[in-house]
Structure 1
Amino acid sequence: MGKQFDQLSDVLIRFIEAQHIFFVGTAAPEGRVNISPKGMDSLRVFSPTRIVWRNLTGSGNETAGHLAQINRMTLMWCGFAAKPMILRTYGTARTLHPRDTGFAELNGLFPASPGARQIYDLSIDLVQSSCGFAVPFMDYAGERDVLKTWADGKGEDGIAEYWETRNQSTIDGLPTHILGREETA
Structure 2
Amino acid sequence: MGIFTQEHLTVREKYGTTNQAEMVFSYMDTTSLSDRMIGFIESINYFFLATSSKEGRTNVNFKGTKSKRLIKVLDKNRLIFPDFNGNGILHSVGDILSNPNVGLLVIDFSKDIRIKINGKAKIIDDKEIISSYLDYFDSFNFSRLIEVEIDYVIPNCSANLSVVRDSILDKGNKV
Q: Give the TM-score normalised by structure 1.
A: 0.65
Hey, what's the Cα distance between the residues in 1 that align with 2:42 and 2:56? 32
**CA deviation after TM superposition for structure 1 residue 24, in Å:** 0.6
Hey, what's the Cα distance between the residues in 2 that align with 1:128 and 1:112? 28
**Structure-2 residue corresponding to 1:132:** 158
Unaligned runs of at least 5 residues, structure 1: 143-185
CA deviations over 1:15-54 (Å, ceiling 9, x no partner):
2233332111110121531111111232111111111000
* Greater helix fraction, Structure 1 or Structure 2: 2
Hey, what's the Cα distance between the residues in 1 that align with 2:50 and 2:37? 19
Aligned positions of 1:64-143 closer than 5 A: 64-82=93-111, 84-97=112-125, 99=126, 101-114=128-141, 116-136=142-162, 137=165
- Which protein has greater RCO, CA pairs closer than 8 Å, 6+ apart? 1
Question: Which structure: larger Rg?
Answer: 2
Q: Give the TM-score normalised by structure 2.
A: 0.69
AA partner of residue 58 (structure 2) = V
**Structure-2 residue corresponding to 1:54:** 82
Hey, what's the Cα distance between the residues in 1 that align with 2:137 and 2:45? 15
**CA deviation after TM superposition for structure 1 residue 113, in Å:** 2.9
Hey, what's the Cα distance between the residues in 1 that align with 2:116 and 2:63? 14
**Structure-2 residue corresponding to 1:26:** 51
**Structure-1 residue corresponding to 2:73:** 45
Q: How many aligned positions are there?
A: 139
Q: Which runs of 4+ in 1 moved over 3 A?
A: 1-4, 138-142
Q: 1:47 and 1:141, CA in 2 relative to 1: closer, same or farther beyond 3 A?
A: farther
AA partner of residue 119 (structure 1) = L
Hey, what's the Cα distance between the residues in 2 that align with 1:81 and 1:49? 26
Q: 1:111 and 1:135, CA in 2 relative to 1: closer, same or farther beyond 3 A?
A: same
Hey, what's the Cα distance between the residues in 1 that align with 2:45 and 2:174? 10
Aligned identity (percent) is 21
Hey, what's the Cα distance between the residues in 2 that align with 1:77 and 1:101? 28
8 Å contact from structure 2 (residues 85, 143) kept in 1: yes
